Amino acid sequence: MTTVAIRKKLVDYMKVADYKKIKAIYTLLEDDIEQDGRISMEQYNKELEQADAEIEAGDFILHEDVVKYFSKK
């Protein structure tokens, strides 16, 4: 699949995806774009605390659910 085709599929998917999926994709991309080297221990700990808070709030997707979702495609 070409880069252009992948981009089109992503754009189409983003139009119908729910909030949790869009937020997860955004977070993944944002971290990749912003990361220009090593992060400080303070930033690392802050990110761990944020991740723990999201998990405790139920804001996560189980791996098996992701596998099921993509195996249907």
Cα dihedral 44→46→47→52 (10° resolution): 130
Q: Given this model, what pLDDT does residue 9 score?
A: 92
Q: Given this model, what pLDDT does residue 13 score?
A: 92
Q: Given this model, what pLDDT does residue 72 score?
A: 83
Q: Given this model, what pLDDT does residue 29 score?
A: 84
| CB neighbour list of residue 60: distance below 8 Å, 6 or more residues apart | 54
Cα angle value 36/24/13 (rounded, 5°): 110
Mean pLDDT, contiguous 10-residue spans, the chain (73 residues): 89 92 87 69 92 93 90 79
